Amino acid sequence: MGTPTLFTRVYALVRRVPRGRVVTYGQVARALGLPHGARTVGWAMRVCPNQVPWHRVVNARGEISIRPTTGFHEQRARLKAEGIRFDRAGRIDLKKYGWKRI
């Protein structure tokens, strides 16, 4: 078996994020040894397979990075369905909902 690609490693890590928790693009990048790789993680999430819980990855401010589009509304709905709450500015409290075991 060959070496997993970077995107495959991103997906494997994101699959471990439990329901009701989120991680940031930067957290995923750092966990993979890419301290400046948040954008690379973002690119991976744009093309991820359906089985990957892509909606659990947010930006460092606790915001959904996708601008208000169908994807934005879908991500917000999925997170709300998992019990994650947003403040009035549309942010998630990363201290409360952030997953630290990454």
Tens digit of each residue's pLDDT (9 = 90 or more) over 60-84: 999 999 888 888 999 999 999 999 9
pTM reported for the whole predicted model: 0.93
Any idea which residue has 């606790």 for tokens? 62
Does residue 100 lie within any of the structural domains?
Answer: no
Does residue 55 lie within any of the structural domains?
Answer: yes
Query: What is the CATH classification number for the domain harbouring 41?
Result: 1.10.10.10
Does residue 101 lie within any of the structural domains?
Answer: no
Does residue 1 lie within any of the structural domains?
Answer: no
Does residue 30 lie within any of the structural domains?
Answer: yes
> What is the pLDDT at residue 67?
81
CA distance 53 to 84: 14
pLDDT tens-digit profile of 18-73?
999 999 999 999 999 999 999 999 999 999 999 999 999 999 999 999 888 888 99
Provide the domain count of the chain: 1
CA distance 96 to 37: 24
Sorted by sequence, the CB contacts under 8 Å of residue 65 that are 6+ apart come out as 25, 42, 58, 59
